[in-house]
Chains A and B, each alone.
Chain A
Amino acid sequence: MKKHLLLLLSVILVAMSLSACGGGNKNAGGNASNSPDASGGNSGTNTPVVEEVADPFAKFDEPTEISVGRGIDPNYKFDGTDTSEDNVYTRWLKDKYNIVVKHAWEAANGTDYQQKVSLAISSNDLPDAMIVNETQLRQMVKAGQLADLKEVYEKYASPALKAVYDSNPGLLDSVTFDGKLYALPETTLPSAPLTWIRKDWLDQLGLEPPKTLEDIEKIAQSFIDNKMGGENSIGIVGTQQGGTLYSTFLNSTDHWYNFSSIFFANGAYPGIWVKDADGNAVYGSTTPETKETLALMRDWYAKGILDKELGVRKSTGEVVASGQTGIFFGPWWSAYNNIPDNIKNDPKANWRAYAAPLDASGKFNSNSATGSSYLVVSKNYKHPETVIKMTTLHQWGKDEEYQTLTAGKQMTSQEVPLFLILGAGDQLEYAVNSLRDYLAGKMTLEDFDNNNYGWAYEMANHALNVKKDPMDNYDIEYWDQETDAGFFTHLYAHLNGGSAFVDADINWVRSIATAQTKTMESRWTNLKKLEDETFLKIIMGSTDLDSFDTFVEKWKDQGGDKITEEVNELK
């Protein structure tokens, strides 16, 4: 899932600006001897802070190697003989900046990659740098495996990079432990689950887009009854094998292909810590609202409205692509994945996103994102500044030479090593709003803030190639998919999904805890297993609804109460 998000976001945050380029010609390379020693710095007595600022865009004097652990997408098509280790981007890094990227290992994105990272951590056999998740980051901090990046960050980060982190308050603090900066965190883009529906089917059956859970139930039922997706039409698809029913405080909140939406519409926030009526922390999965939602899902499952194979299905995307279903829940960028395949098979497939279902009081709820990916550097690596430099160069180093080399091709996480999503919080909002204004003729290309929102400008340049009149209708028949196929998907996702998301009035609910507490470290495996098992069984009807109460009791008993106490202290 992460893979798709990365591929997509890779292209969003291109060439934001060269504003930081003004630096002098100070010699930034070859000073490894006096660059801060990351592995030391513990005595706390001396370590004079180097106040000088190096030019973030200077070339190293001599080739500087960095070995990385790399997540790859086995299906990605490179140009010519390029590989993820040797491609136009890495050659540019090498020729222009003397940064030589070597792969310590590669693993397919997703489970394989996570497993490889965990193995690297537990065997203490680390590459110089890699991208890890929050649990892994904490593990590495505890194990003392990481370099303190504070000084190299101060010295080598470009003003633009610092500005991004300044515009996301608290982000760097969340990776600072005992005054040491242990990672560069990703700036997460907002995401709330929308309801995606085949509007062509709605029109065919004379149905209105949904607002409430009841609407969705009715729509799903009539999609099934009228065999809209063929003989074996499936109502609502979601969780696949190995997936979760809803996003939790530990896995980032990309609600793609799960059932978070149903819970939110009942005011239930499973998987995160919320405040109860008295203001005390309570685990969302143990609340009566969650039980109600499970009862509803159990009912829907029995009626065949929910996919009978939820939790067992190998690939939910396949069902969407094949046109067997007409409803799923997913974030605004869902239009990037599987839907284009469905359109290829069936040009009339008109997927539209709606900010639904609403709760009883008409509010649209979502839990809000927590951090997800972190760029970390091994304490044994001699040149931690390389990592800061690479991050800066990726976002802001795209000069003329780079443009010529890449010939306008968007570099994705497959070309760019140590890919990190960085951006000011309102990238999406700006892109969607300005594109709409541009298409409506209320804005010209010159009005775009190309410096800060380069990607929006880039898309606007292609907008008229792909959008047909009427400009404010995003149904599939008003798009030209052929002329500028590369940008069709971008604009389609931004205007179809993005606008539904930007226009929605979202009631964000934040988790009190965003990382494991002490007791969770030992007990969480067991508690999570209990939860996953009970909930799935309740939905599928293989145990009765009252086993929810037994679950809550057991959960509290087996460490839940202790953990809740710890979370209460975090408030």
Chain B
Amino acid sequence: MLNKGFNRHYYLMLLPGLIWLFFYNLLPMYGILTAFKEFNPGLGILKSPWVGLENFQYMFELDDSKLIFRNTILIAFSKMVGNLLVPLAFALMLNEVKHKLFTRTVQTAVYLPHFLSWVIVAGMMLDIFSYNGPVNSLLEVLGVQPMMFFTNERLFPALLVGSDVWKEFGFNAIIFFSALTSINPEMYEAAAIDGASQWKRLTKITIPSILPVAVLLATLSLGNILNAGFDQIFNLYNPSVYSTGDIIDTWVYRAGLIDMQYGLATAVGLLKSVVGFVLITVSYSLAYRFANYRIF
């Protein structure tokens, strides 16, 4: 199976990617040392004095550490689930619509928000959910007291997940659309002749056919469970929702860039990377087991 002559050009094509990886991802890794040092910019990373595990010790002493890890996982996991189920359901529903022009238009319209930056979407969100905004006006008509959405600890994660899913579901649905088109139409025809109803055809043909894709996407996204979306949260949060909205990345940003506690910020960031690495490894092995997906 291993034919060297056959493989050589593949490796060549891999080269630019590897070079990029080396310079941008592997080389900067020596910065991890900062986590074990009292970083002094004047001395540089290598010459700064060692402090052993002091930064980690302090990190575990902080109540915040548990909180931000919990928030991160909670938000990221909810986003994962939402970003899998909503696009899937949407793709299945749109698939049942036979009007070509309509499906095309809808498909285009719903993936547009994906291309907007969070700065813009966050501004829109804050306006829409503001105290005198459209949502509160609507609630008022229904007899509900107007309220502040973005200072409410309980609602904040839901708003994060909701807005993220709204922004991304159209784009995420694309892969399901392509999976749907690859289903052999003869199966549907055969089922129809055998008298299977629309619903039966959906549950017995469509869903089983695209399930591997869904499982694959789910397992692969596990690697992202510690990425709760810095851009989004940074543009939406405020101190009153720290308890449910502060994630590792926003915390590291404040500690590292605002308060210049480089060592501590790096330690937290490193812990995130380590956990992330474990999760990615697990997710790929799961992907291999359940969806027969391999990258190596």
Q: Which residues of A contact B (CB under 8 A)?
A: 114-115, 118-119, 121-124, 135-136, 139-140, 142-145, 232, 241-242, 308-309, 311-312, 314, 521-522, 524-526, 529, 532-533, 535-537, 540, 542
Contact = CB atoms under 8 A, between A and B. Distances in A.
A312 B261 contact: no
Contacts of B132: 232
B34 to A, nearest CB: 9
Nearest to B153: A542
A533 B239 contact: yes
6 contacts: A118-B258, A121-B41, A143-B43, A311-B240, A314-B123, A526-B64
Contact of B151 (A135, A521, A535, A536): A536
B123 A142 contact: no
A309 B130 contact: yes
B255 A542 contact: no
Nearest to B34: A122
B264 A522 contact: yes
Given A124-B44, A312-B151, A542-B151, A115 B257 contact: yes
B273 interface: no
Given A122-B262, A312-B150, A536 B239 contact: yes
A124 B31 CA distance: 14
Given A312-B151, A529-B254, 17 more contacts: A118-B260, A121-B41, A122-B260, A135-B260, A140-B42, A142-B42, A143-B41, A143-B42, A311-B240, A312-B148, A525-B259, A529-B64, A532-B239, A533-B243, A540-B240, A542-B153, A542-B240
A392 to B, nearest CB: 29
Contact of A122 (B41, B131, B255): B41
B123 A145 contact: no
Contacts of B148: 308-309, 312, 540
B152 A542 contact: yes
Interface string B27-41: 000000000000111
Nearest to A142: B40
A124 B264 CA distance: 19
Contacts, number: 90
Q: How large is the interface on B (under 10, 10 to 19, 20 to 34, 35 or more residues)?
A: 20 to 34
B166 interface: no
Nearest to B235: A241
A311 B130 CA distance: 12
B22 interface: no
List the 6 closest A-B pairs by CB distance, nearest first: A143-B42, A532-B239, A308-B131, A536-B240, A144-B42, A525-B259
B242 interface: yes
**Which label, helix, strand, loop or mixed, suits the secondary structure of the B interface?**
loop
Given A309-B130, A311-B239, A311-B240, A145 B260 contact: no
B144 to A, nearest CB: 15
Contacts of B152: 542
Contact of A143 (B40, B58, B242, B258): B40
B213 interface: no
Q: Most chain-B Cβ atoms within 10 A of its Cβ — which of A135, A242, A309, A314?
A: A309
Q: Most chain-A Cβ atoms within 10 A of its Cβ — which of B62, B259, B261?
A: B259
Contact of B238 (A118, A139, A311): A311
Contact of A121 (B44, B239, B260): B260
A540 B151 contact: yes
A540 B149 CA distance: 12
A247 to B, nearest CB: 16
Interface in B213-271: 238-240, 242-243, 254-255, 257-262, 264
A139 B259 contact: no
Nearest to A244: B239
B126 interface: yes
Nearest to B127: A314
Contacts of B151: 311-312, 536, 540, 542
A314 B260 contact: no
Nearest to B64: A526
Contacts of B153: 542
A74 to B, nearest CB: 14
Contacts of B238: 241-242, 311-312, 536
Contact of B242 (A123, A309, A314, A533): A533
Contact of A119 (B64, B257, B264): B257
Given A312-B148, A537-B240, A522 B41 contact: no
B242 A525 contact: no
A143 B42 CA distance: 4
Contacts of B255: 525
B131 A309 contact: yes
Contacts of A526: 62, 64
B254 A123 contact: no
A124 B41 contact: yes
A135 B255 CA distance: 13
A242 B234 CA distance: 10
Given A121-B41, A540-B151, A529 B239 contact: yes
Q: Most chain-A Cβ atoms within 10 A of its Cβ — which of B58, B239, B254, B262?
A: B239
A145 B239 CA distance: 34
A529 B242 contact: yes
Given A525-B254, A525-B259, A123 B41 contact: yes
A123 B260 CA distance: 12
Contacts of B41: 121-124, 139-140, 143, 145
Contacts of A114: 258
Contacts of B40: 142-144
Nearest to B149: A312
A137 to B, nearest CB: 12
A241 B148 CA distance: 14
Contacts of B42: 124, 140, 142-145
Interface string B108-140: 000000000000000100100011100000000
B290 to A, nearest CB: 41
Contacts of A309: 130-131, 148
